[in-house]
Structure formats: structure tokens, C-alpha cells
Structure 1
């Protein structure tokens, strides 16, 4: 449409948020993260090459399927979860221990993340992921291009479910490569399993909220953020890292990680809520405004409804999946006009402050404290 560019520009104008912290912290963080991300990616590449070869022996078509799953894992991503897990581990052991022995379990978290993303895209009917067609969309296109029988959309969804399932199995298999004493490995496994259960709980609540918005609230939206995002993005990876290091589950360090992880994880999701409405698709890799089209009951939209006047609430209630870009752009402005964006910005800042206060625990390694400070800033003040 002729006015799409204008509408897109309106969506791509997220409110500015001043950074907490300073540039030297970010520079120190980037220097450490580079080596970690390289190690995780190298571990994944080697592991997945062997797995794809094994599945290719079953059938040539299986090789293509496995290669698609591999590509979903390796197609970009910030490696946020392995990064938090690494600093959770490093905060216990300090700087003298080599990173190589913990790379398999850290990389396993990225496989778990891919499982969640691929399934989430099916549930949300998302067209893109990381700037590329989502797995179910790509598989549907391949089905149609090949002229196969049946419904291409259903085929694509079925393939994506299997890709997610395979990534979950791969995560378990790579985790089993961890060389630790049995008792410690059991603690690691308990943390890992709890993370997976909480992820499913949060995802179910997310799906339920979209189908029962009349019974949703800001509190329930924050509960989704806590379990769908905070748990498996920040809190549990930190505790997973501490378990890898043999940290005391009842000690002050784990208590500090829990407090920090919940605060940063919730702020991370609140930032995602803003990006879902105001983000630049070229940066986020996903269409802008989808949360508005679907009426997804995020904390941002729940606050907008709570703060809206009667006319604004009627406009919000008219949101529909068939809304055009210009209408979505106007709704984005309306959401900001209610004061909801400013309120979410304050909620993010309050949670970052809470997280930084948690890092005052004296038992945290100094370099890890610096890195976690930088991570609290970088993951909640981002464009993607």
C-alpha cells in the first residue's frame, strides 16, 4: 500500500530510554561475551554436524530435515541464556577455571531455546524469526513448491513441531556430555528440569491469555513474564550455572541470583512488549505491531486498557487481526497516549535497579558482578 512506509515509520519509533550504567561496563562485557559466544557456537556446530550425519543414514529426507533443524539453531541469536549461565558459573568459581568443560551444558541451553522458539512461532502464527521465514512457514513453502499432496500449512506446522521436539532431545543429549561428579550433575539436572517445566507453564498461560483476555490483568501478564521469560532466560540459567559450579543451593549467592534473575527476566519481557509494538522489523527480525493485531494481553496492553479513557478503550477493543498498517500505527500512538509506555519504562527501570541491588552480595566474583551489571543494562535497553 502507498502509505505502508509512513505507517512503518510510526511503528519504528520506540520511546527512548536512558541507559543505566556506563560504556566501559559494556566494553568489558563485550570482550568476555565474544569468547563465550564463539565457544558455544563451535560446540553447537560440531555436535550438530554429527547428529545430522547420523540422521542422514536413516534416509536422505531425514538428512534434509535434520539440516533444517540445525539451521534453526545456528541462524543467529544473541546466546543470552548460555551467557547468563556462564556468568552464574563464573560468579561461583572465579576466573581461574577453564571454560571448555562447561561449554556442552551451556550450549544445550541454546538448543532448548530453539525448541521453545520454533513451537512458539507455530502457536503465535508468526511469519518470521530472526529476519527469516519461521520454520513452519519455510516448511510449508517447500511443501507447496514440491507439489506434494495435502495442506501445505498443516504440513509446515507438523514439521516445525518435530523440529522443536528434536531440538529438545538434542539439548538433553548434549547436556549428557557434561563431565561432572554424579551428585553435582543431579543438581544440574534438577535445575534444568525445573526450567523446562516453568517454561511450559508460562507458555500455557500466554496461550490462555490470548484466548481469555476478559479475565486477564496486569498481574497475570507479569506472571506470564515471570514464567515464560524470566525463568528460562535469566533466573534458571544463572542457577544452572551455579549448579554446574557446585554452588550452595541455600547460600547467599543463589539467593542473589534468584533476586537478580527474576528482576532482569521480567524487565527483559517488558522490553519485548515494547519491541512487539514499536520495534524495527529490520532489527528485531519480526513484524512490528503483531501484538496489537492479535490483542495479545501483554503488560503493556493491559496497562493501556487500565489507563485508557472511554474513547481510547473503545478503540483498543476494536483491534482485529485484519487491521492495516496505518490503523496499527494509530493504535501504537494511542497506547503511548494512555501513559502505558511510560509506566512500562518505569517498571523496567525499577527492575534493573532491583537487580543491581541484588549484586551487592559479597560472595559474587568481582568480574562476574561487572558482567552481570552490564547484562542487566544491555538486555533491557536493546532494539532486538
Structure 2
């Protein structure tokens, strides 16, 4: 029989319930201000935060806490659920910066509000309204992440330990997003630059910082923090590399994003950088970043990436980083059940299809 705390589905359910409870309270506050105008804001955030997501960040934070000997606690679940609001903020802003049309198979937030503007027959530019609304909703999610952490029920001393990790994580992901935009603007195609962007845009706030947040809540010793860093950073980079592969080769029915979207957006990912290093003279690269790139163009660029050996190179790096991460847990003083779950989460993070 599966141990109840090894059931990831149960934890996802509890995280979803915590988010649902928190956002219901925030909806009431918005209704007090202006029900008709702000109901779409509550609807959009709930659709993104409550209905979707793999809940990996709360899972890593929760098991970082449990691995340090922390006992199960609903307040801890509510605290780590706040990470989903940080994620929502990043996704909303990312989709604006990338010009993405969809997110998880539904219209991206900026497209959702552009459509609202058009259907209501309001004045001005629908796309401009959608972009402005999405920026503000992303900011609101970041503000609410702070509120959710502080209203979770954790004690003042525990919050004081957790707060620096939470703040550093939010700084890092914001800087990582800027580095991503700046890298595309400069056209830097080095794998070193791609790895730097991946580390700060995704790796640290997806796995390393959530683990350290859980450890801080539990009051973990420095030795365990070091083990979590050794596990979390390479695994987070492997997670982002898998995301890069899916952005080019993923099935849109599964990923919820159009096929080859990263190629249309011209993203200088590790996968693309590796292909340019090994097959950079191909004329097909002039198609990278073309927003009108069709299926034939996507297929051509995919062929160059595969032919250069970059896909195999990226898969090997994912495997190497995952092995490095798991090796960091060897000898670490953490609970047996946490070790088992963290091993399983490593596989889930790097072998996923979405």
C-alpha cells in the first residue's frame, strides 16, 4: 500500500484546495472594489492557477521540508502553494514577452483580455489593452504570492527563516527573465549564455529555491541545505532543457502550445545554441524568430537540429545533470520517504512530455 505522503496526487489536491481557498478570499475583496470590472481578473487568475499546472514547485518545497524532518502540516502546504502564484506571474509575463497565443491549451492572459476588449466594443487598441492587463495581472499574482505565504498560518519565527529564500527566488526569476529577453536581443548563441539564462530563469526557482524554502521552514541544518543545492540546481537545469526540447519537438496536443513555438519566438535555448555551434552555417537559421514560420519551416529547423547532433547532445546533458542531482542526495541526512519522493520527482521533472 502506498504511503499517504508518497502520493503526489494527494499533495496536488491539497495544494489546489489551498489555492482555491486563498483565491476565493481575494475574489471577495475584488468584488468589494468593483464586481463587474474585476470579475474577469479573478476568473483569469483562477483559470491559470487553480485549474492547471504540475505543482512541481510546491512538491519540491514540501519534500524539502519533510526531508528535514518536518511533520505534515496544512500551514506548510498553504505556504508552499504560494509558489504557484510566483509561477503564474512568470508565465503571464513570459507570454507577453514572447507573444505567445496560448498557455496550457487556452488563450494566454493577454489574448484573453484582448478578446474581452473586442467583444465589449471598448475604445482603443484591444491588443494594447490585453498587454496592459496581463502585465498588471502578473504583478498582482506576485503580490498575492507574498500575501499567501504570510497568511498561511506559519509562525513568525518560521516566516522569518523562510522570507529571505522566498525573496531571493523572486529576484532570481525576474533577473532570469530579463537575461532571456536581453539574450534574444543581442543574438548571443553560445551554450554558456543559454545555460546562464536557464539557470536563473527556470532552474533555481523551479527546484533549488523551493527545496531551500522547505528546508528553511523546517529549520534544516546547513549540511542539508548544501545537499539540496547540489541536487536542485543541476536538476533544475535539466528540467529547463527538457522544456527546451518540448518547445521544439513536443506534441501540441499534449503541451498546449503550437508546434515549434520556441522557433517562431527565436529563443536562444541550449538546444538551439548547441545546434548553431555544430551546424551554424545552414541557411535554415534565417527562419529562426520568424513569427509566421509554417509547418514546413518548423520541420526544416527540426531537421537541422537533429542533423547537427544537438538533440542527442541535449539529451545526454539532461541525463548527466539528472545523475549529478541524484548523486548529491547520496549521504545526505534526510528521511527515507523524502529520498524516495525526491528521486521520483527527478524523473518526473526530466522525463515529462508537458
Quickly name the TM-score band, shorter chain normalised.
over 0.9
1:181 and 1:75 map into 2 onto residues whose CA distance is: 29
- Offset at residue 168 of structure 1 (A): 1.1
Tell me the C-alpha RMSD between the 2 structures.
1.7
1:84 and 1:129 map into 2 onto residues whose CA distance is: 23
1:174 and 1:120 map into 2 onto residues whose CA distance is: 22
Say which of 139, 148, 162 aligns to 1:165: 139
- Contact 2:76 2:154 survives alignment (8 Å): no
Matches within 5 A, 1:65-76: 65-76=41-52
Cα separation, partners in 2 of 1:180 and 1:309, compared to 1, 3 Å = closer
- Offset at residue 44 of structure 1 (A): 0.8
- Offset at residue 155 of structure 1 (A): 0.4
Q: What whole-Å deviation, never above 9, does each CA across 1:70-102 have from its counterpart, x for those lacking one?
A: 2221121111100100110010015xx223120
2:78 and 2:208 map into 1 onto residues whose CA distance is: 19
1:169 and 1:240 map into 2 onto residues whose CA distance is: 18
- Structure 1 unaligned spans of 5+: 1-23
- Contact 1:73 1:114 survives alignment (8 Å): yes
- Contact 1:81 1:110 survives alignment (8 Å): yes
Q: Secondary structure of the residue that 2:33 maps to in structure 1?
A: coil
- Contact 1:53 1:63 survives alignment (8 Å): no
Structure with higher RCO (Cα < 8 A, 6+ apart): 1
Q: Secondary structure of the residue that 2:7 maps to in structure 1?
A: helix
Q: Secondary structure of the residue that 1:58 maps to in structure 2?
A: helix
- Contact 1:253 1:361 survives alignment (8 Å): no
- Offset at residue 294 of structure 1 (A): 2.6
Cα separation, partners in 2 of 1:31 and 1:90, compared to 1, 3 Å = closer
Matches within 5 A, 1:96-107: 97-107=71-81
1:149 and 1:303 map into 2 onto residues whose CA distance is: 46
2:254 and 2:49 map into 1 onto residues whose CA distance is: 19
Match of 2:96?
Answer: 122
Match of 2:107?
Answer: 133
Q: Secondary structure of the residue that 2:54 maps to in structure 1?
A: coil
- Contact 2:189 2:276 survives alignment (8 Å): no
- Offset at residue 30 of structure 1 (A): 9.4
Match of 1:316?
Answer: 285
1:28 and 1:331 map into 2 onto residues whose CA distance is: 46
Q: Secondary structure of the residue that 2:330 maps to in structure 1?
A: coil
Mapped pair 1:271 → 2:246? no
- Contact 2:66 2:72 survives alignment (8 Å): no
Instruction: Give the length in aligned residue pairs.
Output: 352
- Offset at residue 173 of structure 1 (A): 0.7
Mapped pair 1:145 → 2:116? no
1:330 and 1:57 map into 2 onto residues whose CA distance is: 54
Say which of 225, 238, 242 aligns to 1:254: 225
Match of 2:193?
Answer: 220
2:4 and 2:260 map into 1 onto residues whose CA distance is: 32
- Contact 2:271 2:314 survives alignment (8 Å): yes
Q: Secondary structure of the residue that 1:93 maps to in structure 2?
A: coil
Range with bigger deviation, 49-58 or 187-196? 49-58
Match of 1:3?
Answer: none
Cα separation, partners in 2 of 1:339 and 1:30, compared to 1, 3 Å = farther
2:5 and 2:135 map into 1 onto residues whose CA distance is: 34
1:126 and 1:362 map into 2 onto residues whose CA distance is: 41
- Contact 2:5 2:11 survives alignment (8 Å): no
Q: Secondary structure of the residue that 2:350 maps to in structure 1?
A: coil
Q: What whole-Å deviation, never above 9, does each CA across 1:249-293 have from its counterpart, x for those lacking one?
A: xx2211010011001100000001100000011111111212212
- Structure 2 unaligned spans of 5+: none
Q: What whole-Å deviation, never above 9, does each CA across 1:83-140 have from its counterpart, x for those lacking one?
A: 100110010015xx22312022111111111111111111111100011000100110
Match of 2:278?
Answer: 307
1:100 and 1:122 map into 2 onto residues whose CA distance is: 34
Q: TM-score normalized by structure 2? A: 0.95
- Contact 2:284 2:300 survives alignment (8 Å): no
- Offset at residue 34 of structure 1 (A): 1.4
Match of 1:8?
Answer: none
Say which of 60, 63, 71 aligns to 1:84: 60
1:28 and 1:323 map into 2 onto residues whose CA distance is: 48
Mapped pair 1:348 → 2:318? yes
Mapped pair 1:176 → 2:150? yes
Q: What whole-Å deviation, never above 9, does each CA across 1:185-229 have from its counterpart, x for those lacking one?
A: 21200000000010011100100111111x341001001111111
